[in-house]
Amino acid sequence: MAKSDEKKPKTAADAYGAGQIQVLEGLEPVRKRPGMYIGSTGPSGLHHLIWEVMDNSIDEAMAGHGDTITLRLLPDNMASVEDNGRGIPVDPHPQFKVSALELVLTKLHAGGKFGGGGYKVSGGLHGVGVSVVNALSTYLKAEVRRDGKLWMQEYSKGVPQNKVKSVGTAKGTGTKITFQADKTIFETVEFSMKTIVDHLRQMAYLQKALRLNIFDDRDPAKSTGYSFYFEGGVASYVRHINRGKDAKHVNVFYVSKHDVATDVEVEVALQYTDEYHESVYCFCNNIFNPEGGTHLIGFRNVLTRELNTYARSKGYIKEKDTNLTGDDVREGMTTVISVKIKDPQFEGQTKAKLGNPEARTAVESVFGESFKIWLEEHPRDAEAVIGKCLLAAQARAAARAARETVLRKGVLDGFALPGKLADCSSKDPKRSELFLVEGDSAGGSAKQGRDRETQAILPLRGKILNVERARLDKMLANNEIKSLVIAMGTNIGEAFNIEDLRYDRIVIMTDADVDGAHIRTLLLTMFYRYFPELVRQGHIYIAQPPLFRVQVGKEFRYAYTDEQKEKAAKDLAAIITAKKNSKVGKVGEVRKVGKEEVVDESAAEPPSEGGEQQDLVIDGHKVNVQRYKGLGEMNPEQLWETTMNPETRVMKVVTIEDAEKADEVFDILMGSEVAPRKRFIQTHAKTVKNLDV
């Protein structure tokens, strides 16, 4: 054999050839990467399956082909959605030669929303909704009432189990999808009735005169149900959001109109309250856009312009005075903006932001014209709105002056950090974390026990200001808030810049008692209202210090609940018993086992200092239980190993899964009205865990 013909060892490059290129066909990509299609495989992704099926039924209603949708939660974690629309076509598709029903359920990007003939507007734009649900379900059954017959087909993990066939006669038209989510893909397959009710109530507000029925039939003995139907559209939605708040004007502004020039349906409602923050909810084709988009930009431009024009024409703003800013006119405003557009352009499958330029034009035209008329026709309401805006402008000017005084140039560069801040040595924000600790005692333990390179400690003395009832100027007069803002480095209000954040993780570490819970709530309120981007991007955490230290002999464990405490005590007693049985002798006796001398380990050590001491006896063994009411009761080593060590600690990341619900809860718990807070506490008192009285 010639040298040139000798076989050479294969390299990594040689091994990578055409054979390694994998082609995923049909619904395989969905099962391979479910997060790309439904956002996550957690509870939000699970419920996204229901939203995708509901979107198709709501699209039928938007097209004028149905007025009732019924959702049922069934035993074995199944769900069904039934509408009285036209019913998915079942006749063979001219190109693919299979039933259109099977095509819709087994092919991505197949549906009646692309050619222009099936739907004028729709929420399920991508055509992947129901096919994705099919792919991620161990079982799915599609039933269609059409042409006087009931058609049916069943699937398993996206694969048809039979042909589409007629199984009887049927009156009327409609589609029913019954599915069971695949428990090998999702973290949980148990649907939350509360999450579903909140979402479908929102959908009923957005689609006028649509009846949405929800039934929980998982336990036949305890079936519950709700039915939503609203004639008022998004105006009813604004009243719902503002219930319990002090409205500045009785008449809710509302307009619903088709803009002929852009072929966009625009529906807007707004009302001002005595709150200090803005609540705005944007939708396109009934799909929530949490990041807004072009329709929100158009609305804000017109709102600022029209209020300034009206205020100047009526003499509320003098010639020498500056105009109201966007922040001034949006303080305390609750707004719902809903547009319906033929070909929406969203950012990503989750549809967080709308990008259509024509949506901005349509909202500016429809809202601008109607709002100008509303201000003229409701002078008393207009006066209340302008008064609220002028008051906000005065407060903002005071806040700006306070911020410039407190957060002067150079402070945020680290030259004048708060004196009580024990900063970390690392200057890399990605490696750094800031612990907000309650009181000097816990602060002292945390400072001694921390990793000085990456962990900074900021002790907070007492309870910070309740920002739900205060504007920015009063906030910055509070020393604890001022120190926190300076330490974070992001600035606040108009000057906020998340790029300047000095710590990737901001950890709230408070005591496990009533005062600690109150301080934690006050801090969360501040972050939610004034630093929402930190929450959205996952920078805010809550530390989970243990409640108990359970010790038997030299063995000990930490426990976070009463159940864990009892289990730890029994487990440790069993361990010591096993050791005694394997090395028979008196407690503390020195004896030989093999060639080595050992001491019986059931000889108890004195318990660590701190915390309430409780002695139990289990199986003849003395069990010492320490109850930590405060972090200061832990020594630095204990605080490190339980709460601060990245290798062993447990922390909760703070998220905003439902912005409207979060806004409502913060308003109830931290607002000025006592009655709603009392009702909330009475309603939820029995479900509270770890109540410390």
The string of pLDDT tens digits covering residues 278-320 is 999 999 988 889 889 999 999 999 999 999 999 999 999 988 8
| Band of pLDDT at residue 13, cut at 50, 70 and 90 | very low
* SS3 state of residue 8: coil
Q: What is the mean pLDDT of residues 397-401?
A: 79
Q: What is the mean pLDDT of residues 451-455?
A: 95
pLDDT at residue number 413? 44
| Plot region of 209 (φ>0 → left; ψ -120 to 50 → alpha; else → beta) | left
Q: What is the mean pLDDT of residues 498-516?
A: 89
| Residue 313 maps to a domain | yes
Q: What is the mean pLDDT of residues 168-182?
A: 95
Q: Both tokens of residue 209?
A: 């005169």
Query: pLDDT at residue 111 above 80?
Result: no
For residues 69 and 624, give the distance between their C-alpha atoms in angstroms, rounded to a whole number: 59
For residues 267 and 208, give the distance between their C-alpha atoms in angstroms, rounded to a whole number: 11
Who has greater pLDDT, 610 or 268? 268
287 and 398 co-located in one domain: yes
| Band of pLDDT at residue 607, cut at 50, 70 and 90 | very low
239 and 126 co-located in one domain: no
Query: pLDDT at residue 77 above 70?
Result: yes
For residues 588 and 599, give the distance between their C-alpha atoms in angstroms, rounded to a whole number: 6
Query: Of 227, 253, 277, which residue constitutes the final position of a domain?
Result: 227
The CATH number assigned to the domain holding 505 equals: 3.40.50.670
The CATH number assigned to the domain holding 200 equals: 3.30.565.10
pLDDT at residue number 38? 84
Query: pLDDT at residue 360 above 70?
Result: yes
Print burial letters for 103-122: b (CB count within 10 Å at least 16), e (below 16). bbbbbbebbbbeeeeebbbb
556 and 539 co-located in one domain: no
pTM for this prediction:
0.66
Query: pLDDT at residue 150 above 60?
Result: yes
214 contacts 225 by C-beta, under 8 angstroms = yes
Q: Both tokens of residue 669?
A: 């718990």
Share of the chain above pLDDT 90, in %: 43
165 and 43 co-located in one domain: yes
pLDDT at residue number 464? 85
210 and 254 co-located in one domain: no
pLDDT at residue number 398? 81
214 contacts 198 by C-beta, under 8 angstroms = no
Query: Picking from 67-81, 250-264, 436-450, which range would have the lowest pLDDT averaged per residue?
Result: 436-450
Give the sign of the dihedral formed by CA 287, CA 293, CA 294, CA 297.
Answer: positive
Q: What is the mean pLDDT of residues 135-162?
A: 95
- By C-alpha distance, which of 349, 286, 211 is closest to 55? 286
H/E run at residue 297: helix 294-313
Query: Of 227, 255, 271, which residue constitutes the final position of a domain?
Result: 227
| Residue 352 maps to a domain | yes
Query: pLDDT at residue 31 above 80?
Result: yes
Who has greater pLDDT, 159 or 407? 159
- Nearest 5°: the CA angle 430, 434, 435 is 145
All residues at 6 or more sequence positions from 300 whose CB lies less than 8 Å from its CB, including other chains: 326, 330
| Band of pLDDT at residue 123, cut at 50, 70 and 90 | low
| Residue 6 maps to a domain | no
- By C-alpha distance, which of 440, 631, 610 is closest to 543? 631
Query: Of 349, 372, 404, which residue constitutes the final position of a domain?
Result: 404
621 and 529 co-located in one domain: no
246 contacts 274 by C-beta, under 8 angstroms = yes
Question: How many secondary structure helices (H) and strands (E) does the chain include?
Answer: 21, 25
| Residue 489 maps to a domain | yes
pLDDT at residue number 619? 75
154 and 82 co-located in one domain: yes
| Residue 672 maps to a domain | no
Query: pLDDT at residue 645 above 70?
Result: yes
- List the end-to-end C-alpha distance of the chain, in Å, as a whole number: 89
Query: Counting Cβ atoms within 10 Å, is residue 641 exposed (0-12), middle (13-18) or buried (19+)?
Result: middle
| Residue 250 maps to a domain | yes
Query: pLDDT at residue 514 above 60?
Result: yes
**Which range of residues forms the domain containing residue 339?**
234-404
541 and 554 co-located in one domain: no
Give the sign of the dihedral formed by CA 80, CA 59, CA 36, CA 23.
Answer: positive
Farthest CA pair distance, the chain: 102
Q: Both tokens of residue 638?
A: 């204990």
| Band of pLDDT at residue 447, cut at 50, 70 and 90 | very high
pLDDT at residue number 27? 80
Q: Which residue has the tokens 């709501």?
A: 58
120 contacts 63 by C-beta, under 8 angstroms = yes
| Residue 47 maps to a domain | yes
Q: What is the mean pLDDT of residues 212-227?
A: 92
* SS3 state of residue 153: strand
Candidate ranges 168-177, 397-406, 600-609, 621-630; pick with highest mean pLDDT: 168-177
Beta strands in 329-389 (DSSP E): 333-340
User: What's the per-residue H, E or C state across 239-263?
Assistant: HHHCCCCCECCCCCEEEEEEECCCC
H/E run at residue 409: none
Q: How many domains does the chain have?
A: 4
Who has greater pLDDT, 509 or 115? 509
Query: Picking from 178-182, 194-198, 631-635, 646-650, which range would have the lowest pLDDT averaged per residue?
Result: 631-635
Query: pLDDT at residue 227 above 90?
Result: yes
For residues 173 and 105, give the distance between their C-alpha atoms in angstroms, rounded to a whole number: 19
Query: pLDDT at residue 12 above 60?
Result: no
| Band of pLDDT at residue 409, cut at 50, 70 and 90 | very low
The CATH number assigned to the domain holding 335 equals: 3.30.230.10
Candidate ranges 55-64, 340-349, 464-473; pick with highest mean pLDDT: 55-64
239 and 339 co-located in one domain: yes
| Band of pLDDT at residue 568, cut at 50, 70 and 90 | confident
Share of the chain above pLDDT 70, in %: 81
| Residue 414 maps to a domain | no
Who has greater pLDDT, 480 or 668? 480
467 and 344 co-located in one domain: no
Query: Picking from 105-109, 147-151, 477-481, 527-531, which range would have the lowest pLDDT averaged per residue?
Result: 105-109
For residues 383 and 363, give the distance between their C-alpha atoms in angstroms, rounded to a whole number: 24
For residues 333 and 245, give the distance between their C-alpha atoms in angstroms, rounded to a whole number: 11
| Band of pLDDT at residue 260, cut at 50, 70 and 90 | very high
503 and 371 co-located in one domain: no
Q: Which residues are catalytic?
A: 438, 511, 513, 515
181 and 248 co-located in one domain: no
Q: What is the mean pLDDT of residues 515-539?
A: 87
pLDDT at residue number 351? 72
All residues at 6 or more sequence positions from 153 whose CB lies less than 8 Å from its CB, including other chains: 99, 101, 102, 105, 141, 142, 160, 161, 162, 163, 164, 165
Query: Counting Cβ atoms within 10 Å, is residue 578 exposed (0-12), middle (13-18) or buried (19+)?
Result: exposed
Residue-averaged pLDDT of the chain: 83
pLDDT at residue number 188? 93
Q: What is the mean pLDDT of residues 105-115?
A: 63
327 contacts 396 by C-beta, under 8 angstroms = yes
